[in-house]
Amino acid sequence: MTRFQKAIQLLLNYSTVVLFLVVLVTFGLLSPKFLTLGNITNILIQSSSLTILAIGMTFVLLTAGIDLSVGSIMFVVGVISGKLVVIGLPIWWAIPLVLVIGLLFGLVNAFFIFKLKIVPFIVTLATFYVGRGLGLYISETRAINLPESFLQIGSSKLLGLPMPIVILLLVLIIGHFVLSSTQFGRQVYAVGNDMAKARKAGVPVKKILLTVYLICGLCAAISSLVALAQLGAVSPTFGYQNEFMAIAAAVLGGTSLFGGKGNILPGTLIGALLIQSIQNGLVIINVNPYIYPVITGTVIFLIVMIDSLRHKSVQKALRTKTTI
Amino acid sequence: MIESTANKLLGKSENTTVYVCVLYYFIMAIFVPGFFTIHNSWNLLFNLLPLLIVAIGQTYVMLGAGIDLSVTSIVAMTSIIGGYCLSDITAFIEPVWLRIVFSLGAMLLTGALIGLINGVSVAKLGMPAFMVTLTTMMLFSGTAIWLTRSQNSYMLPESFVNMPYTSLWFIPLPLLIGLVVVGIAYFLLNNTLYGEWLPSVGMNSKTAAISGVKVQSTTIWSYIICGCCAAVASILYTARLETGSPVMGQHILLDVIGSVVIGGTSLFGGVGKIQWTVIGAVFIIMLDNSLNLMGMSYFLIMIIKGLVILLAAMMNLLKEGKY
Amino acid sequence: MLLQLKNIKKSFGKVEVLKGITFSLDEGMILGLIGENGAGKSTMMNLLGGIFPPTAGEMFLNGETYLPNSPIAAQSKGVAFIHQELNLFPNLSIAENLFINQFPKKRFFGVSRIDKKTINVKAKELLGQVGLTMDPNKKVEELSPAPRQLVEIAKALGANPKIIIFDEPTTSLSHHEAKKLFELIKKLKAQGIAMIYISHNLDDVLKLVDSVAILRDGELVRMDEKKSFDIQTMVKEMVGREMLEFFPGRMKKIGKKVLEVENLTAKGFIKDVTFHIKKQEVVGFYGLVGAGRSEMVRVLYGLDRFDSGSIVWKGELIDKTNPVLSIQRGIAFLTEDRIEEGLLTRMNIQKNAQLAALGHFTKGLLHRINRFEAKEKVKEKVYATKTKYENLTEQLVSTLSGGNQQKIVLAKWLLTDPELLILDEPTKGIDIGAKREIYGLINNLVENGSSVLMISSELEELMGLCDRIIVMSKGKITASFDKSQFERNTILEVALHKQTAIL
């Protein structure tokens, strides 16, 4: 390999990181406000909801599954917690209650997937619509404004860190620990690689599938609360298409849609930060809002493309190694 | 034991859904007022046609073990292109029919082009179909909204807007278009080399490639066909709603995938038929229409449709003896 | 007596697969289990391995009733099963694979986490037992087939087994690697572990085992000490009849060169490969796994690219090659991996058989298919291959036995009227009856004017069928033998010692 080829290979291997840096530098050059501490904190706060959602999604993707219903879970959780708080239930009662709702959605998804053996894509597409319909039904398609106390939680600080970042860090650390240092975490990778083999090896496949969908539902509920604490209201489009953003974040971070490959730290975190930085940067440099989805879509497309090209070249290299 | 009883009860996969469909039709005809009327029958038909056409394109992609989530954005994108081409900008083109032909051509070309992008990304670059079409969906629905600043274009020529109500040989034009699409799709899949190649690529692309099947172009064509089908559906939608809209077809993804899955086409590729999808689409439309007539709200219908698709997926597995 | 089976029966639906098997196994004993495909070997081993329970009969392990309800239950009782298809997760490390189900853990603020240090130590210990010295943190995907096999055995040893079942362990190993495996098996035997060894390679069985059990049609037809068997008697008991003329002869009239390959090089795979094949000639390729034989034919067929060299087909220089062109030229390629590269398992026999020759049955701009003609032609060829089937257009090809599936793949290629048929391990994992029929088909094809290039790991097969045997090693051709020079030991030696180039 020539030096040039090696450089290209290196670039391909760290494409997401490279692109992340490119995005940071570009926006930094376009606007002096972008790379300030205040704005970077802002990006972190704004990305907390998406990152938490994407962490749950990573667990599911690692088992070669998919969860299209997370955006709808966010919506239902948002609507119900809004209703509960508006009728006067204390916030600290409402929060555990709606977390259970997230778990329930995960349970329903898991039940259809491992008990009735329906492909995750179809199950969660159905619960996507059921959830959205349910949320619209409960909210009567009206926006719900939350009391001031909710927003206060969002802007409160713990140990000098804004609350959303604290929650993000907690979920991040726990998620990473579970995935890399527990038997369950390693078995998730085994199930994602080959479910039949995992069953033969005595891995409790059903328990693992159930757990990952529960984790995903729970993360969606937490993500919903974190977003609520920042927005202060639930609109009928709350959480809409967030499932796609979460999948994109995980995939940008190197998680394979075919299971068994990927990680939360640094993978999913960088993927989510990348998406959020682009959105934030576009706002700061005052781009026409109609263009946002076009640019975000293009970036995601490019990274998935680079990832596929990298995959191809790795495959080639591996073949050379094994034969001679 | 359970399997064999189930098989006896359900019969062959093609027949079951037909029975359910017919049964449902009669029950609704008896119990739901306003269902079994001429007006509603036309309504059913006109709702069915564009959905069916999109679902047929999706069937092709799924036969090749792919998926096209971008169909909704193709409908939107072609709709605004059509709206643009049919508006006053092209008024200099005379006569009107030439203008319409030109515009419809532009719409089909747009659909084919997006399909080509999807297909090349999947087949040549080896990107996962789900991610490719997810991003093209975001990209093109975003582009459609951006180009039009969320505005609809009205002022389409009379003769285009009247298309749904025009007849040729006593057959309404939309129905004729639908029949032609179904006919071509059926012929291509059942009588030609491509029809043999596509499922074989979907089932096992390695075996297919070694056996001399042109795997890449087969896959690419399936996405192009899907794009064209979405464009044809967009023509019907645009004519009926008398407007080129960037949010056209935004909500049909569930119905499209539902039609294909209820019909019984496999999500893993290689197994599926056009006639299955026809039945699936008929069922989805009947369900939608009857629930509407019963006075159910949009969201309740959404919930019920979701559940029905789950049920259909379960039935398919039951028939394959997976339980 | 370690293991005892009494009148074990197993039925699937109405089909009785095992019809009352009785035998026993002692400590430190190696039992060779042989039989044609479909004789019931796998079913019996699956019963022992806990995949499913018997319909009737009793099993005893150490005098206690043994009725495992899962592979894990079997393992905890001391019965380990090394499947032909290894049960490893390539995306995990060696150590993680070894402990996937019982990671050593330690408490960390009340949370149980994986104890990485202990795992490393324990993994090294287990790997040492099978003679592997690599880092246990290496990912399995970076290993070649032989060490993977050893990792699987190490995994089994981790559960302190009393019995290990090997199902065709040598199919993906080279001669040298297989030899090392046998040494390991003998070492385990010395430790008192009993083993059941299933293989189609009867030579290996005779070399390795203490006793031989022969299954035929779900019955144990004979079980005896090794010394009362030789290859002939084993074959006879397996098929239930004498197998005269295992390799049928053919009329010899070798013609002009059809394929000339010169200095063919694909970087990293093959280097300077030069050979030719004449009309109506059968040329065999022998060598270790990874010697570059499969890679070479893949390049020839146009699945992979080559960097330099030339391929001349019937006097014409070929500059571009891919499967579509190859089929047009009259070259066919039966691949080694039948399921992944040869069949459309969820389709019927007709669709499978017609796939490569579809072009013959189409006409017009739209390539309309003449179904009637396609069906007649397929029927003809499938009949010629003596495939046992029920319905061409209704029956899924996955319902056929391995041998019959292979015949369908062969029929697919015969339908293209090939002038050169490339066969990569055509009889791998196939029973003796089907093997013989495939040999007959090859001879038939050659007598009718075609040529054959055949890769096989069974030297007897090549010696029986080929006019010439070419040996490859490390991507290069190292020797070539004419039929008159065929001698088992010489060929083996050349294949094993890379530097003794005769050419």
Residue with tokens 């559906």: B233
Residue A72 lies in a domain: yes
Cβ–Cβ under 8 Å, residues C3 and C54: no
**What is the token pair recorded at A302?**
């490019």
Q: What's the whole-number average pLDDT of chain C? A: 87
Q: Tell me the C-alpha distance between C60 and C64, whole Å.
A: 5
Q: Which residue of A has its CA nearest to B306?
A: A126
CB atoms within 10 A of CB C235: 18
Any bridge partners for residue C451, and if so which?
C420
Which residues in chain C touch residue B200, judged by CB atoms under 8 angstroms apart? 344, 347, 351, 355
Neighbours of B100 (CB within 10 A): 22
Angstrom distance (rounded) from CA A20 to CA C321: 42
Q: Of C337, C346, C394, which to mutate for an interface test with B (greatest number of B Cβ within 10 Å)?
A: C346
3-class state of residue C160 by DSSP:
coil
Contacts of B59 (CB under 8 A, 6+ apart): B185, B260, B263, B265, B272, B273, B274, B276, B277
Quote the pLDDT of residue B321.
Answer: 65
pLDDT 10s digits, B270-299: 989 999 999 999 999 999 999 999 988 888
Q: In A, which residues are within 8 Å of C72 by CB distance?
A: 202
Subunits touching C (CB < 8 Å, at least 3 pairs)?
A, B
**CA angle at residue C48 from C44 to C50, to 5 degrees?**
115
The 3-state DSSP class for residue C428 equals: coil
Residues B243-256 pLDDT 10s: 878 888 778 888 99
Is the C-alpha dihedral spanning A184, A188, A190, A195 positive or negative?
positive
User: The complex's ipTM?
Assistant: 0.85
Instruction: Report yes or no: C439 at the B interface, CB cutoff 8 Å.
Output: no
Chain A positions touching chain C (beta carbons under 8 Å): 177, 181-183, 186-187, 189-190, 192-194, 197-198, 200-203, 260-261, 318-324
Distance (Å) of CA B81 to CA B50, B101, B248, C338: 18, 13, 12, 49
3 state SS of C54: coil
Residues of A in contact with B314 (CB under 8 A): 116, 118
pLDDT, residue A321, reads: 35
Greatest alpha-carbon pair distance for chain C in Å reads: 81
Choose from B210, B214, B265 for mutation: most chain C CBs within 10 A: B210
- The DSSP 8-state label assigned to residue C222 in this structure reads E
Task: Please say whether the beta carbons of C248 and C455 come within 8 A.
Answer: no
Domain spans, chain C:
1-78+161-245, 88-159, 257-495
Residue keyed to tokens 């609520």: A228
Q: Which residue of C has its CA nearest to B1?
A: C13
8 Å CB contact of B204 and C345 = yes
On whether residue A324 sits in a domain, the answer given is no
Cα separation, C43 vs C31, whole angstroms: 17
B206 touching chain A per CB within 8 A: no
User: CA-to-CA distance for A260 and A197, rounded, in angstroms?
Assistant: 13
A177 and C100 in contact by Cβ < 8 A? no
- CATH number for the region B2-319 comes to 1.10.3470
Instruction: Please report how the helices B215-241 and B96-123 are oriented relative to each other, as an axis angle in degrees rounded to 10.
Output: 140
Which chains form contacts with chain A, at 3 or more CB pairs under 8 Å?
Answer: B, C
Q: How many helices (H) and strands (E) does chain A have?
A: 14, 4
Contact A118 B257 (CB under 8 A): no
How confident is residue C426, by pLDDT bands cut at 50, 70 and 90?
very high
* Cβ–Cβ below 8 Å for A133 and B317: no
Residue pointed to by tokens 């527990």:
A182
Distances (CA, A) of B263 to B3, B255, B260, B306, B315: 20, 12, 5, 15, 11
As assigned by CATH, the class of the C257-495 domain is alpha beta
Per-residue pLDDT of chain A (324 residues; tens, 9 = 90+): 567 777 777 777 777 888 889 889 999 999 998 989 999 999 999 999 999 999 999 999 999 999 999 999 999 999 999 999 888 888 888 899 999 999 999 999 999 998 888 889 889 999 999 999 999 999 988 888 888 887 888 788 888 889 999 999 999 999 999 999 999 999 999 999 999 889 888 899 999 999 999 999 999 999 999 999 999 889 988 998 899 899 999 988 889 888 898 999 889 999 999 999 999 999 998 888 888 888 888 888 887 888 787 777 666 554 443 333
| Cα distance between residue C277 and residue C262, in whole Å | 12
Burial of C75 (0-12, 13-18, 19+ CB in 10 A): buried
Using a CB–CB cutoff of 8 Å, tell me whether C19 touches chain B.
Answer: no
Q: Are B46 and B233 within 8 A, CB to CB?
A: no
The domain that contains A248 carries what CATH number? 1.10.3470
Q: How far apart are CA A107 and CA A256, in angstroms?
A: 24
Neighbouring chains of B at 3+ CB pairs under 8 Å are: A, C
Do B303 and A137 lie within an 8 Å CB cutoff? yes
pLDDT band at C88 (very low <50, low <70, confident <90, very high): very high
Chain C closest-CA separation from residue B197 CA (Å):
8
Query: What pLDDT is attached to residue C199?
Result: 83
Judged by CB atoms closer than 8 Å, whether chains meet at A323 and C89 is answered as no
Please tell me whether the peptide bond between C53 and the residue prior to it is cis, using omega within 30 degrees of 0. Answer: no
Q: What are the CA-CA distances from residue B303 to residues A56, B24, B85, C432 (Å)? A: 24, 19, 38, 58
**C410 contact partners, CB below 8 Å, separation of at least 6:** C334, C385, C426, C438, C441
Per-residue burial over B303-316, b if 16 or more Cβ lie within 10 Å, else e, is bbbbebbbebbbbb
CB contact under 8 A, A182 and C290: no
- CB atoms < 10 A from the CB of B121, how many? 24
Q: Percent of chain C, pLDDT > 90?
A: 47
Domain count within chain A: 1
pLDDT, mean of residues C63-69: 90
C367 touches chain B (CB under 8 A): yes
How many other CB atoms are there within 10 angstroms of residue C256's CB atom? 10
**Are residues C71 and A321, on separate chains, in Cβ contact within 8 Å?**
no
pLDDT digits (tens, 9 = 90+) for B151-173: 777 667 777 777 777 777 877 88
Q: Give B-chain residues touching C343 at CB under 8 angstroms.
A: 204, 207
Q: Rounded distance, CA B288 to CA B270, Å?
A: 29
How confident is the model at residue C38, as a pLDDT?
67
**Lateral strand order in the sheet of C420-424:** C331-334, C420-424, C451-455, C282-287, C468-473, C476-482
How far is B131 from chain A, CA to nearest CA, in Å?
7
> What are C264's strand-pairing partners?
C273
Interface list for C 276-315 with B (CB within 8 A): 301, 303
**Region for residue B162 given its phi and psi (left: phi exceeds 0; alpha: psi -120 to 50; beta: otherwise):** alpha
Pairing state between β C219-225 and C368-369: unpaired
The end-to-end CA distance of chain C, in Å, is 55
C21 and C57 Cβ atoms separated by less than 8 Å: yes
Element (H, E) at C463: helix C459-465
Q: What per-residue confidence (pLDDT) applies to C86?
A: 85
Angle at the Cα of A124 from the Cα atoms of A120 and A130, rounded to 5 degrees? 155
Asked whether the beta carbons of residue A320 and residue C87 sit closer than 8 angstroms, the reply is no
Q: What is the DSSP letter of C197?
A: E
Give the one of C88, C101, C269 whose C-beta lies nearest to A323's C-beta: C269
Q: What does each C-alpha distance from C31 to B22, C28, C193, C198 come to in angstroms?
A: 62, 10, 12, 8
The tally of CA atoms less than 13 A away on the side-chain side of residue A199 is 9
Give the pLDDT band (50/70/90) at residue B181: very high
Q: What is the dihedral of CA A7, A263, A75, A149, to 10 degrees?
A: -100
Q: Do A202 and C268 touch (CB under 8 A)?
A: no
Q: Would the CB atoms of A257 and B317 count as touching at under 8 Å?
A: no
Give which of B150, A317, A35 is closest to C142, Cα–Cα: A317
Question: Are B142 and A247 a contacting pair at CB < 8 A?
Answer: no
User: Mean of the per-residue pLDDT values for chain B?
Assistant: 87
How does residue C498 score in pLDDT terms, banded at 50, 70 and 90?
Answer: very low
For residue A116, give the nearest of B128, B297, B314 by CB distance.
B314
From A201, A260, A323, residue closest to C100, measured CB to CB? A201
**pLDDT, tens digit, 9 for 90 and up, residues C302-322:** 998 899 999 999 999 998 889
- Whether residue C501 is predicted with pLDDT greater than 50 in this model: the reply is no
Homologous superfamily of C1-78+161-245: P-loop containing nucleotide triphosphate hydrolases (3.40.50.300)
- Give the tens place of pLDDT for each residue, C180-228: 889 999 999 999 999 999 887 788 888 899 999 999 888 898 888 888 8
Asked if C241 is an interface residue toward chain A (Cβ–Cβ < 8 A), one would say no
Q: Is C16 exposed, middle or buried (0-12, 13-18, 19+ CB in 10 A)?
A: middle
- Using a CB-CB cut-off of 8 Å, the residues of chain A touching C89 are 189-190, 193-194, 197-198, 201, 260
Structure tokens at B291: 């629930």
* CA–CA separation, B287 and B24 (whole Å): 9
Cα dihedral A271, A275, A281, A286, rounded to 10, equals 170
CA C76, chain centre distance (Å): 29
CA angle A120-A121-A122, nearest 5°? Answer: 95
